[in-house]
Structure 1
Amino acid sequence: MDVFTKKRLAAASIVYWLLLGYIVVALVWWFIALQRQNHQMISYKMSELKMDDPTFQAKYQLLVQEKHIKEIRNIGEGSIFLAVILIASIFVYQAVRRQIRLQNQQENFMMAITHELKTPIAIAKLNLETLLKYSLPEEKKQKMLQATLQETNRLNTLASNILVSSQLEGGRYRISKEELDLSDLVKTTYNDFLNRFPDRTFHSEIEPEIDIDGDPLLLQILVNNLIENAIKYSPKEGIINCKLSQKNKTILFQVQDEGAGIPDDEKKRVFEKFYRIGNETTRTTKGTGLGLYLCKKIVEDHHGHIKVADNLPRGSNFMVSFTVKHAHE
């Protein structure tokens, strides 16, 4: 959260709590005034009683009872009003803070998405114009075409993340679960990254013939996003490890990197929509804050669990677990 947003949130919080304090003080004052009025009315009625009246004691007891009933009523009404005010204030306060945070995240998302769209388009355009304008050696042509293909794949991944995320949230995406070879899907995606990033170091431990009931497109997006996330946040000399294993009825998919890691207080928040560590004005790593959110949504739609832990001695370890109906033989 940037400094401007923090100041705006702090100012809104101060005004809000001042207004709430005024309302609570007004309620307490109303309660005291009612109690005082009740005591005065009862005292006046008692002063009107005559000692020589045969019904004096009965009337006195009735007035005492009336005073007690009104006190209980005032206390009950005041307590209910106070409870309603406090509960409503807490809900409103949380909603306002959530709305301000969401607005800030959406602003960051728009800045990120603009950068994510402009950069690959500019690179691809420059490479294609260079290829058309100049006669280059074959090796340099292939290198430029490879770079253009990488940027095009980035655009395709970005468009898929935005589209699928919107469809899943709006309930417009119909998940078609079918039995598929998860080992083959992970291996194919892994090999694709090997070809796309020949200068990076990859390592894999993928057990064969692990089957799962799932949506092929969503699971491919899941694997693709986790590996791409590891590439983005790892140094070029770091090793990216991709593991897939099954023990009894539990399938475990892991992507480990050797990046800077994620602080403990950020480990759950990285799966929130639009959330990214830092802010768009200081962050240099490419991304929109949708990839991990989409991963969590896909895993949950497949009744699985996703979490991130430290990859000792350095980096992060994203772990996805699924429970299958039949254990792998």
Structure 2
Amino acid sequence: MPHRFLPKQKLALLTTIYWFMLSYIIAALLFWYIRLQQQNEQMANYKLLELVADDPAYLQKVERINLESQRKNIQYRGEGLTFLGIIIIGAIFVFRAVRRQFRVSQQQQNFMMAITHELKTPIAVAKLNLETLQKHRLDEQKQQKLIHMTLQETNRLNTLTNNILISSQLDGGGYKLVKEEFNLSLIIEKLLVDFQQRFPERIFQWTIAPDIDFRGDPLLVQIMISNLIENAVKYSPRNEPISLALYSDDRFIIIDVKDLGPGIPDAEKSKVFQRFYRIGNEEVRRTKGTGLGLYLCKKIAEDHHGTIRLADNLPTGSIFTLKFHHS
């Protein structure tokens, strides 16, 4: 049986055992409630049989025994419902916690598979290119092509390691956020020029309002915008443009990154910002990535008191919108 179904089978088995045990506990609770009710009725009947019929206080004693029996019935019912409520609430909490832990474990496993592939591929390509340059006398054009490919793979490694390190530091509190004033327009223009050089076959379009100042951490802001552009490059067809717009109004600085890729289903829109989360099955996925890029975008945006939103780019594709208050 394929390995990728094992975690789901294990979760299904544990879920079945869990609900069986919960059903058993509830059945046992119901059983003891019925037994206590029966015992209470028997005790009341014994007390009634002990009464003397010609006792002047006979009716008062009968009423007192019946009231005591009713009180015990109410007490047992209240205690039973209380225990039942506690069991159900605890069961729901434990069930959700266990499922969440399984999802996190699966996402971490997917991350390890992805990171292994992401590390091995650029290293192998760079090694092969360097060995080719070393062993063969190539003309200038072929040499430049191999060097360009090697630099591309090196940039991939650099982006990957930056994402991993920054993600770990931000989550662990080891990164000290720097707040300084800088020209956001110039930084984004430089990033886009770099992407044009890295991907000369791709079409990049941008509209950048000049001299928009931003207060924040320049490194994190560059990583955030680079990840959004990188994400668009991964999922856009090669012959379709990737668009970026930077503008501002009276209240906000806004950055839009648009692509004409397949888009993201509505059910997945909120999940893509989760750490390690990626759409699809990791073992058959062809798209590169680790599931950290969009998570970092949201984390960095929130650390700068901003927001990130995902919308459909009609007729196809996605629009990621960053929005920050003016400093």
TM-superposed deviation, 1:293: 0.9
Structure 1 residue aligned with 2:230? 228
Q: Which amino acid aligns with 2:130?
A: L
Structure 2 residue aligned with 1:132? 134
Equivalent of residue 318 in structure 2, options 296, 316, 319: 316
Structure 2 residue aligned with 1:84? 86
TM-superposed deviation, 1:184: 1.6
Structure 2 residue aligned with 1:153? 155
Mapped pair 1:296 → 2:325? no
Aligned mates of 1:30, 1:300 — CA distance in 2? 53
Aligned mates of 1:177, 1:39 — CA distance in 2? 75
After the TM superposition, which residues 179-218 of structure 1 pair with which residues of structure 2 at under 5 Å, given as runs?
A: 179-218=181-220
Identity %, equivalent residues: 56
Aligned mates of 1:177, 1:64 — CA distance in 2? 76
After the TM superposition, which residues 157-176 of structure 1 pair with which residues of structure 2 at under 5 Å, given as runs?
A: 157-176=159-178
TM-score using structure 1 length: 0.95
Aligned mates of 1:73, 1:180 — CA distance in 2? 69
Q: Deviations over 1:3-26 (max 9, x none)?
A: 333332222222211111111111
Aligned mates of 2:306, 2:245 — CA distance in 1? 17
TM-superposed deviation, 1:307: 1.8
Aligned mates of 1:278, 1:43 — CA distance in 2? 67
TM-superposed deviation, 1:35: 0.8
> Secondary structure, in 3 states, of the residue corresponding to 1:320?
strand
Q: Which amino acid aligns with 1:126?
A: L
Show structure 2 runs of 5+ residues with no match. none
Mapped pair 1:8 → 2:5? no
Aligned mates of 1:62, 1:185 — CA distance in 2? 86
Aligned mates of 2:82, 2:326 — CA distance in 1? 50
Aligned mates of 2:222, 2:246 — CA distance in 1? 14
Aligned mates of 1:162, 1:58 — CA distance in 2? 80
> Secondary structure, in 3 states, of the residue corresponding to 2:255?
strand
Q: Which amino acid aligns with 1:38?
A: N
Q: Which amino acid aligns with 1:177?
A: K
> Secondary structure, in 3 states, of the residue corresponding to 2:231?
helix
What is the number of equivalent residue pairs in this alignment?
325
Q: Which amino acid aligns with 1:73?
A: Q
> Secondary structure, in 3 states, of the residue corresponding to 1:82?
helix
Q: Which amino acid aligns with 1:83?
A: G
Show structure 1 runs of 5+ residues with no match. none
Aligned mates of 1:320, 1:66 — CA distance in 2? 68
> Secondary structure, in 3 states, of the residue corresponding to 1:175?
coil
RMSD: 1.4
TM-superposed deviation, 1:36: 0.8
Aligned mates of 1:321, 1:27 — CA distance in 2? 54
Structure 2 residue aligned with 1:244? 246
Structure 2 residue aligned with 1:274? 276
Equivalent of residue 108 in structure 2, options 106, 109, 115: 106
Q: Which amino acid aligns with 1:230?
A: A
TM-superposed deviation, 1:316: 1.1
